[in-house]
Structure 1
Amino acid sequence: MIDLHAHSTRSDGRLTPGALVARAAEAGVTTFALTDHDTIDGLDEARTAANTHDITFIDGVEVSVTWQRRTLHVVGLAFDRGNAALTEGLATLQQVRRDRAKRIAAKIEKLGVADAWSRAQALAAAGQITRPHFARLLIEDGVCRNNNQAFKKHLRPGRDAHVTVEWASLDDAVAWIQGAGGIAVLAHPFGYGFSAAWRRRALAAFAQAGGDALEICTGTTDRQQEITAARDAAQHGLAGSAGSDFHAPEQFWLGLGRLRALPGGLPAVWHDPRFPGADAAN
């Protein structure tokens, strides 16, 4: 069982890298990638846990991209973590994230949240400060009832606590990953709220940038979406990938490794020669 997209406390997940891998093992996952947002800080802990649980571990990251004034996510798999261009690029994105977090903190303090910056730092602990941390503060201080309301009313684009930033370019993200010997995957094509036309434009731009694969099966896709994504991938000569995009145990509607098989005929990213154990992964 394969799951190539999941998050830990090093970004916006709720489980530590070690606990996340243990949960994946309990779910029967045999090949697993940790893909935290714009950071590889959790990979060592996750790999140690994977060795304990006899899981094939794949180094991963999810790179934030600005394209056509919209945000895309490109998952990198099986790269050299020591590559200078990749590590420098991720360091730049981490600084963008810190600057954004300070600006969000100032905005939600105006909404009635006390000491937002210091409290967000405490929630993030060793990881990065992300929008879900601010959502938790909005809930704790009674400004919002739940996470969905926090994003819908305050944190999503166009709302009063949203902060627009410039992430990596699509070309740079793909180049960083491939320059480090890795595989570039466009994540969750149905997860951006795009129309069908914009989804196709984004995929075409990704293919033109030299991307390798498209995430077909996720924790929230239905079979018709997966068939559509597989057709789109084939049109652009892209392989297919699969990942739950797991963040927290509270996501009862999805689970680690709970993914359908890729639609027939589409080459799988885990058969790419760059993928560790390519012939053995199934």
Structure 2
Amino acid sequence: MLVDFHSHTRFSDGLLSPKELVQRAVDRRVDVLAITDHDTTAGIAPARAAIAELALPLTLIDGIEISSGWQNHEIHVVGLRLDITDPALQAFIQGQSEKREARAIEMGRRLEKNRLAGCYEGAKALAGEAQVTRAHFARYMVEQGIVDSFQQVFKKYLTRGNPGYVPHNWPDMTEAIGIIKQAGGVAVLAHPTHYKLSNKWLKRLLHDFKAAGGDALEVAMSQQSPQDRINLAQWGNAVGLKASQGSDFHLVSSWSDLGRNLYLPKDAEPIWQDWPELTAVAP
């Protein structure tokens, strides 16, 4: 059974519509997919409608990826199997949306101050019905020829110390975990090796995540060394966190695709091991 518990649609910073995403998952032989858009669940209903319309052999898990803060770092928490109709969750999502919009407006103002006019408006147009993210700014700036690549956008403009950078105002990681648990979900630490932490600080993050009520960490990702995968499984086991896996899919590329290179080390305990909705899925 191939599961991918981390993916994005156009409702956040992915390039595919929910319908295109679920079709891509089936084409890639993914059996179980979680849609985990940034701070929104808006893509889930159209994805379910597409699965029914096309009679796709795919099990969909309701999910979200919440932006939060821990020790002055931006930390992402994936929520899986949550009740997306939960009023407290939807109120929280609305608050996150307002924070994202205010941050995007300020990014645009700072870039304009540095003679880069129209970036907010361009990013907003690219986002469409989605919330504006830094990825939309990056896409617009590349399309306008301001820079040659996404990497250059972040290096020159959108990271700390650069003209368009705006500090985040996300809720504490403990609050993010709490809202997921309140909505009946399980909380997973997303891409733990992406935060540029030393091993000592990463282990401290895992400890704090568990202490705050976290359930698992992403052990398997599409791009990582075998040793990183083994380390994450061992460190998660040491603090009592189960293992999840996800491609963090945004778009098809030479280095990224749904289900790519996703497997757990033999000593990792899958977070989905006892989920009843997966018992009928082919092994």
TM-score range, shorter chain: over 0.9
Moved more, 204-213 or 105-114: 105-114
| Residue aligning to 1:139 | 142
Aligned match for 1:188, one of 186, 191, 194: 191
| Residue aligning to 1:42 | 43
Counterpart secondary structure, 1:38: coil
What amino acid maps onto 1:271 in structure 2? Answer: Q
| Residue aligning to 2:173 | 170
Aligned match for 2:94, one of 91, 95, 98: 91
What amino acid maps onto 2:13 in structure 1? Answer: D
Q: Residue 217 of structure 1 contacts residue 242 of structure 1 at CA under 8 Å; is this kept in 2?
A: yes
Counterpart secondary structure, 1:276: helix
Q: Residue 8 of structure 1 contacts residue 14 of structure 1 at CA under 8 Å; is this kept in 2?
A: yes
RMSD over aligned Cα atoms:
1.5
Q: Residue 62 of structure 2 contacts residue 82 of structure 2 at CA under 8 Å; is this kept in 1?
A: yes
How many angstroms does 1:56 deviate by? 0.2
Is 1:61 the counterpart of 2:64? The answer is yes
| Residue aligning to 1:17 | 18
Moved more, 108-117 or 154-163: 108-117
Q: Which runs of 5+ in 2 are unaligned?
A: none
Q: Residue 4 of structure 2 contacts residue 262 of structure 2 at CA under 8 Å; is this kept in 1?
A: no
Aligned match for 2:257, one of 250, 255, 258: 255
Is 1:228 the counterpart of 2:264? The answer is no
| Residue aligning to 1:153 | 156
Query: How many matched pairs?
Result: 280
Q: Take 1:139 and 1:255, find their aligned partners in 2: how far apart are those partners?
A: 22
TM-score between the two structures when normalised by the length of structure 2: 0.94
Is 1:107 the counterpart of 2:107? The answer is no
Q: Take 1:10 and 1:102, find their aligned partners in 2: how far apart are those partners?
A: 19
Q: Which runs of 5+ in 1 are unaligned?
A: none
TM-score between the two structures when normalised by the length of structure 1: 0.95
Aligned match for 1:120, one of 123, 126, 136: 123
The C-alpha deviation readout for 1:48-93, integer Å capped at 9, x for no partner, is: 2233312000001000011111110000001111112211111111
What amino acid maps onto 2:147 in structure 1? Answer: C
Aligned in 2, Cα 1:278/1:105: closer, same or farther, shift over 3 Å? farther
